[in-house]
Amino acid sequence: MKYALLSLCLLFTTSIGLAQETKRLTADKHNEYGLIFSLPQTHLDLEVVATKTIRKAGPYYQYAEKYLGIPGAITQDSETWSLTSVKVNPYGVPDPEEQYLMQFKSGSDGYIVLDENGLLLSINTDPEVDTIVPIEPKAKKKSPLDNHDYAKVYSEELLMSASTAKMAEVAAKQLYRIRESRLNLVTGEVDELPADGESFKLVIQQLDEQEAALTALFMGTTQTETVIKHIDYIPVEEATNEVVFRISDLYGIVDSNNLSGAPIYLNLQITEEGQLPVDNKGEVKKMPKNAVPYAIPGKAEVTLTDGKKALFKGEVPVAQFGVIFGLDPSLFTDKKNPTCATFYPQTGAIRQLGK
């Protein structure tokens, strides 16, 4: 049975998100020259990035066009979510039904390298470890008046005004005085300039902040924040319009069963099934005795859509849609010239095989 699990994490901490920890196991007398490893079941990590936007109206929004000549002021508070991107990354999880013992010969120097979960990465050589760098959530973008701290730009004249209209007029005059002061500084039309370049930058920065804060009294404020969640999906069979998560205006990325959000659909189509290797006559090869198992994965095309447009479309390898075959163990136990091999942890397929 297929299922999708919604898990919240700002930084994905499974083996696909960061560089893998590995462990090397050497065949010797204490383990009777036998080493245990697992082949993977392929999971799909759906990396979902959403942006939260909070808009707040300024107290003088109705006077924005009159005093500043700027249309488009925020007139009411709102909070919205939008889907920024979706990525699909395959990764391997040990399959309890695909655990094997690799037997080396007595006196052999053979070894295997596993990841932290016990998946086979390489034999008689160092593995090639893939690192997928996760998307970093963007820091919350602060508004000029974070938390509506208007007091820092209220002058005595503004506070003593008898009406909202008068307060807006005073705030507008204060804003224009700041703009004039900055222009005079830039053009040098002041009695005394700041002592040095750093002092000049500091004064300009303070004037910019005051201007932005006063403008926000009329135009309102906007804050944005990036949120990342990961959904673990196990492909078992083809899927059509399966709801894997939802986007809610109130809560952002929510579980597929949360009807507060609009559904995001997953479609999965098997494009290639793994086949057993054949010989020169086109006949299926026989499994070598005491073979070292590996996977010949299939492939699937994965599409994520909101019902109108595709958000992601790509082909991924999937171990479940393939077959298991094996390598002759004598390849790895030859004392003079042993073979080495590396494997893909996402599927258990051979990455490279050689001396």
Tokens linked to 349 = 């397929």
Q: Are 290 and 303 in contact (CB under 8 A)?
A: no
The amino acid occupying position 169 is: E
- Averaged over successive runs of 10 residues, the pLDDT of the chain (355 residues) comes to 37 41 78 82 96 92 92 92 94 92 78 90 86 59 55 67 84 89 82 78 87 91 92 96 94 93 96 92 88 95 94 96 93 84 94 89
Of how many residues is the chain composed? 355
pLDDT of residue 10: 33
Tokens linked to 157 = 């004249």
pLDDT of residue 149: 60
Residues facing residue 123 across a β-bridge: 112, 341
Q: How far apart are the first and last CA of the chain?
A: 42
Half-sphere exposure in the Cβ direction for 326 (13 Å, CA): 16
Q: Are 272 and 298 in contact (CB under 8 A)?
A: yes
The amino acid occupying position 314 is: G
Residues facing residue 54 across a β-bridge: 79, 223
Distance from C-alpha of 157 to C-alpha of 171, rounded to nearest angstrom? 9
pLDDT of residue 355: 79
pLDDT of residue 182: 86
Q: Are 192 and 43 in contact (CB under 8 A)?
A: no
The amino acid occupying position 35 is: L
pLDDT of residue 206: 87
Of 14, 45, 211, 15, which is closest to residue 115 (Cα–Cα)? Answer: 15
Q: What is the CA radius of gyration of the chain?
A: 31
